[in-house]
Amino acid sequence: MMFRPLFVIVIFMFFLQSNAGETVHIAVINLEPFLKDEGEGKPPGGIAVDYWRNYIAPRMNVTVQFSGPYPIKRAELMLKNGEVDAVMHLTKIADREKDFHFPQTHLTEISSCLVVTKQSRLVSVTNTEDLYDRSIVFISSAFIPEMLLHKRITIIKVTGTDFRQLQLNMLFAGRVDSMLDINHVSLVYYLRNRGYSDRVRVIPLPVPKQKVYTIFTKTSKGHKLSDAFDKANRPGLKAGVFERLTREYMSKRENADE
């Protein structure tokens, strides 16, 4: 009677598979230090990746696979086509709400700012009039603060995986007066790591902070994953886990640079 041990093995394997959880595929954009390229042959990393892998995934009982980094437009297209299940660290704008499902809970909040060269006469911004007749470069498909949406302000949009380098190239070449960035922490990290901090001035904008989300497909699977994400994320959001990870990461980087 050799069938009994084989039967037990089959049942055991089925039990393992049924409790392993499904795999969630997430496309990563380039937004250091939250989402970053770890080098050829390695999966993407960063604070948001660590949060999903170490905090969210175990509480959702899923395995998570990350790919990228991709330009934002490419990641959104992959999500829309069903090539991936989610994209992280994106703001809520009308076009995205039409195409994708937003969970009830966010990852963190971000602050907007402008970047100008050290030679610029612009040193602060208190209202829209301060930016009249200026040109500002920004990325495509992202939230723009309302105070900048004026006919006397020109917004020039670019796209690409390293979109900040494209913007800085235009700024240093004098093709625009300033560049907009809606993630102050990520921007400062980028400028410091590439040696640009001494060449530019970062000007905070007097606008409310924006929430960033993990967005999902508008399918039954996407809604299911979103609900499970909310259940896992609410305690972390309340406890400030993402902010703690950010502080710890930035502190380690600062100590490493000393």
Q: CATH number of the domain that 87 lies in?
A: 3.40.190.10
Residue 41: what pLDDT? Answer: 84
- Contact present, 144 and 180 (Cβ < 8 Å): yes
Please check whether residue 13 lies inside any domain of the structure: no
Same domain, 33 and 116: no
Same domain, 57 and 92: yes
Backbone φ and ψ for 70, nearest 5 degrees, come out as -120, 160
Residue 256: what pLDDT? Answer: 59
Q: What is the dihedral of CA 110, 116, 118, 121, to 10 degrees?
A: -120
- Contact present, 38 and 69 (Cβ < 8 Å): no
Same domain, 174 and 221: no
Parent domain of 144? 112-204
Distance CA 189, CA 181 (A): 12
3-state secondary structure of 155: strand
Distance CA 164, CA 172 (A): 12
Please check whether residue 98 lies inside any domain of the structure: yes
Residue 226: what pLDDT? Answer: 98
Please check whether residue 5 lies inside any domain of the structure: no
Same domain, 32 and 63: yes
Same domain, 103 and 216: yes
Same domain, 241 and 166: no
Distance CA 81, CA 85 (A): 10
Please check whether residue 218 lies inside any domain of the structure: yes
Residue 257: what pLDDT? Answer: 57
Final residue in a domain of this structure, among 168, 189, 204: 204
What pLDDT digit, counting tens, does each position of 161-198 carry?
899 999 999 999 999 999 999 999 999 999 999 999 99
Same domain, 222 and 189: no
Same domain, 53 and 87: yes
Final residue in a domain of this structure, among 167, 183, 204: 204
Same domain, 104 and 216: yes
What's the structural domain count of the chain? 2
Please check whether residue 188 lies inside any domain of the structure: yes
Query: Residue 161 contacts by C-beta under 8 Å, 6 or more apart in sequence?
Result: 29, 30, 69, 70, 71
Residue 73: what pLDDT? Answer: 92
Beta strands at 200-204 and 113-117: parallel, antiparallel or unpaired: antiparallel
Residue 6: what pLDDT? Answer: 41
Which residues are bridge partners to 217 per DSSP? Answer: 100
Same domain, 104 and 217: yes
Please check whether residue 121 lies inside any domain of the structure: yes
Same domain, 68 and 102: yes
Same domain, 96 and 147: no
Residue 7: what pLDDT? Answer: 41
Please check whether residue 183 lies inside any domain of the structure: yes
Final residue in a domain of this structure, among 204, 228, 243: 204
Residues in the chain with pLDDT < 50?
1-19
Distance CA 93, CA 114 (A): 20
Beta strands at 113-117 and 178-181: parallel, antiparallel or unpaired: antiparallel
Backbone φ and ψ for 100, nearest 5 degrees, come out as -130, 165
Please check whether residue 4 lies inside any domain of the structure: no
CA 107 to chain CA mean position, Å: 9
